[in-house]
């Protein structure tokens, strides 16, 4: 195998000491904090019910994304039904033991954040990820740290032309390395009412890098490492409120994610660049959620503004669809034929329903005759026109 000559973090004399320059990361951390506050403020504005909907969707997105980062595509319906079951909101829908295990791990990390993170908990998370005792068709050591003599390597490329991106510490070193990580995690856990031992977002970044550098399990290290981040973030905010999906953002930036990790793992133990990059991903994840909440606020305001307007079930259904699709999201705009297909009514009824919505100011039109198109009338929405 072709590998670049390098020194990994765990081979440094000071391992596992990881440092960063606070003054160099302060701007990125401050921006992430500002956007976290913005998201929390908008959650209060849309109310607890809609915020709960956002939280459930974010948890589902987190599960889908953390698996997709590893190249694993999960069934969204199975994920969403599993999320509802684990939150005690439903008991129906498709079941998948593998999906349920991943949902359990992520939910446990972010909701039971006050419980200690120890060897046993990590091994139970690992068992949940691999309920059949295998990764694909390959049998692996489940519920315990790796103990094989072969090097633990992150490799890509065709057989005979493999590139080693990272080599983890040997298996015999894993337990001692994990002892130090878990003790550090406990020592730096925020205590309400006391000054934090470390800036919370920087702590989450370092915890993730440290865990991934040890790579203690035979498989599933990425998913468990991101669950540790979820736990650190919940501890930072002293609550399980989940309003943004970091894993989805990491999936969007997967190449950059792997590159940033790889550079930090091959560095000197000075991880300022990694903490900066991590903080920017949290900021980007918050921006994405903030946009979702903006739409939720716009929809709530729309219905409030037209609460006195009498609407039939057909009209409400179509308006909700237009609102859900967002500004310009309903491709080509609405016309009478599309209304008929969506509601199953006659041409005359479709024309009458649409006309009353225009007259009430809920829809606006462009074009004339057969080219007339209807758009939901939300202030600021241009629908590409």
User: 224: Cβ–Cβ under 8 A, 6 or more apart, which residues?
Assistant: 105, 122, 125, 126, 129, 211, 217
Same-domain status, 65 and 200: yes
Of 271, 296, 321, the position where a domain reaches its end is: 296
Q: How far is CA 299 from CA 7, 292, 310, in A?
A: 54, 11, 17
Reported confidence tier of residue 48, pLDDT bands at 50, 70, 90: low
pLDDT value at position 50?
A: 66
Does the pTM of the predicted model rise above 0.85? no
Same-domain status, 242 and 355: no
Domain count, the chain: 2
Q: Which domain holds residue 328?
A: 308-376
Cα 331 versus chain centre, distance: 27
Q: DSSP alpha helices (H): ranges in the chain?
A: 22-69, 76-86, 97-111, 119-129, 171-187, 200-214, 221-237, 246-252, 254-265, 272-305, 313-325, 336-343, 347-359
Same-domain status, 245 and 352: no
Beta bridge partners of residue 270, listed in sequence order: 19
Can you give the CATH number for the domain in which 274 is found?
A: 1.10.3290.10
Cα separation of 117 and 115, whole Å?
7
pLDDT value at position 5?
A: 45
pLDDT value at position 312?
A: 96
Residue 225: CB atoms within 10 A of its CB come to: 22
Q: How far is CA 8 from CA 21, 146, 262, in A?
A: 20, 19, 9
Look up residue 119 and give its two tokens: 């060897």
Q: DSSP alpha helices (H): ranges in 238-310?
A: 246-252, 254-265, 272-305
Mean pLDDT of the 332-355 span: 95
Reported confidence tier of residue 168, pLDDT bands at 50, 70, 90: very high
Same-domain status, 277 and 335: no
Percentage, residues of the chain above pLDDT 90: 67
With CA atoms as reference, report the closest residue to 335 among 379, 367, 310, 362: 367
Of 263, 296, 329, the position where a domain reaches its end is: 296
């Amino acid at each position: 195998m072709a590998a670049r000559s390098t020194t990994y973090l765990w081979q440094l004399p000071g391992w596992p000491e990881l440092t960063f320059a606070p003054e160099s990361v302060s701007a990125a951390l401050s921006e992430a904090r500002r956007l976290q506050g913005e998201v929390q403020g908008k959650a209060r504005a849309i109310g607890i019910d809609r915020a709960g909907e956002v939280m459930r969707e974010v948890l589902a997105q987190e599960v889908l994304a953390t698996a997709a980062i590893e190249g694993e595509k999960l069934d969204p319906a199975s994920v969403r039904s599993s999320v509802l079951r684990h939150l005690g909101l439903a008991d129906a829908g498709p079941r998948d033991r593998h999906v349920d295990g991943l949902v359990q791990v992520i939910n446990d990390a972010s909701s039971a954040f006050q419980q200690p993170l120890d060897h046993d908990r990590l091994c139970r998370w690992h068992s949940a990820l691999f309920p059949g005792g295998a990764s694909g068709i390959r049998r692996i050591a489940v519920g315990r740290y790796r103990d094989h003599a072969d090097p633990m390597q992150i490799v890509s490329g065709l057989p005979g032309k493999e590139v080693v991106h990272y080599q983890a510490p040997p298996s015999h070193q894993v337990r001692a390395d994990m002892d130090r990580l878990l003790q550090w995690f406990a020592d730096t856990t925020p205590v309400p009412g006391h000054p934090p031992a470390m800036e919370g977002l920087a702590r989450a970044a370092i915890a993730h890098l440290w865990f991934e550098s040890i790579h203690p399990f035979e498989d599933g290290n990425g998913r468990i490492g991101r669950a540790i981040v979820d736990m650190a973030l919940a501890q930072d905010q002293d609550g399980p409120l989940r309003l943004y999906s970091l894993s989805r953002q990491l999936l969007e930036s997967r190449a950059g994610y792997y590159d940033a990790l790889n550079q930090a793992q091959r560095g000197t133990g000075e991880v300022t660049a990694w903490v900066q990059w991590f903080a920017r991903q949290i900021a980007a994840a918050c921006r994405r959620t903030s946009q979702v909440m903006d739409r939720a606020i716009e929809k709530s305001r729309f219905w409030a503004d037209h609460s006195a307007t009498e609407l039939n079930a057909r009209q409400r259904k179509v308006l909700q669809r237009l609102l859900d699709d967002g500004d310009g999201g309903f491709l080509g705009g609405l016309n009478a034929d599309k209304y008929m297909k969506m509601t199953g009514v006659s041409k005359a009824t479709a024309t009458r329903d649409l006309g009353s919505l225009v007259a009430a100011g809920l829809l606006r039109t462009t074009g004339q005759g057969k080219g007339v198109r209807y758009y939901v009338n939300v202030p600021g929405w241009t629908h590409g026109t």
